[in-house]
Structure 1
Amino acid sequence: MQNEPVAARTRWMPAIGNHEMEPWDGADGYGGMRARFTTPDNAWSQSTGIDFIVVYLHQCTYSTCHDNGAELGAQQDWAPLFDKYKVDLVLSGHNHVYERTDPIRAGKATRKVVSGDTVDPVKDGTTYVVAGGGGGGLYSFPASDTYLGHESANDKPVPMVVSDRSGHSQTVKVTWSRVRYAGYCLVAIDVTPAVAGKPARMELRSVTEDGTAVDRVTVQRG
């Protein structure tokens, strides 16, 4: 694998997806991936002093990009757990775009969070980010792009395509798609620990290859 030289000296936490599937390797096609990476178990649940809970997965719980759509099963089975345990941030790929939601709880946006704002996941809910603009062919949105410095009118509902377990799709209108960018970009996350009575901060940035900011949001509890 082209990633092995870097992975040999840098910790990676991969989310297995369709691009890692090799039908000849193992019963489910992921034998090669599992041989190269060991993912964490549930020991973190017994730890103390955790500042933030970040979930990462391949397919999108929430996304308005129609190329691969969003997963109804994830919305029904996983999102309630994210609400219950007050997950701060959910990262996914699959759709080759960048998209950030307003904070969501029980499937609905709780408030509008533009670039530069701060989110309190305990009060506001979970923020979902599609970070799929790092390579491969780019996709598009059914509504105009809207991102830092290039904000567009974004008050009308946007159509989201969701796929159920049987593979059937349906379209619903949503209002939580706050930032959309159909260009190449990467996501960087910096965490500042709590100090001198100030709470920990998690700053998420989406940047293009020359460092231009596409989006910026801070997650802070309390």
Structure 2
Amino acid sequence: MQFAKPLPEYLVKRYHGWKATTYTENRSWYMRLAEDGQHPRAMVISCCDSRVHVTSIFGADQGEFFIHRNIANLVPPFTPDGQQHGTSAAVEYAVTALKVAHVVVMGHSSCGGVLGCFDMCEGKAPQLDEKTSFVGRWMDILRPGYDRLAEGDDKTRLRALEKEAVLVSLENLMTFPFVKQAVDDGMLSLHGLWNHIGEGTLECYDPATRRFAAV
């Protein structure tokens, strides 16, 4: 495999710094995690965006969250078609094997994936409509959310679509039989969050008001 290169030096230095400090000071905890396995209480589905750092926002340590990241924090509907489904596999493992008590979907401001979906649905990104576009076909998941947008200026509608990405994912989660069963049995709860990166605020969806409200 001639195309694989050595790790960049800055990452090597950061690793050695972590090993000499954080790991060394908590070695017994890491050993326990390795021997006992993981027992996270929650699964978090968040965006790949490098500015979204779930463990920092919640001050979480290793072993606390089962985290799955993808473009625009989307969950596809339950589709047992024999194809490869990374997000669906992660949800299945979290709910049926790890038996997490919570599944959290967290969207965020200035999401590039959501912007791509918005532009695609507006006819402004024909490249995403191509069958060969992985991003475009993934963002098709969010089209039902776009169809629900109210009239208004693009900025307002785009912000609304960021939150629709959370709601569509929550709706799709309930199409998975094992998720619905766990929710109906009171063994699992679903949560929708939206994070404003610049302001550091966090909003949670309230089904009673059908709105996102500050935490």
- What TM-score, normalized to structure 2? 0.30
State the TM-score, normalizing by the size of structure 1.
0.29
Task: Give the greater-gyration-radius structure (CA).
Answer: 2
Comparing both structures, which one devotes a greater share of its residues to strand? 1
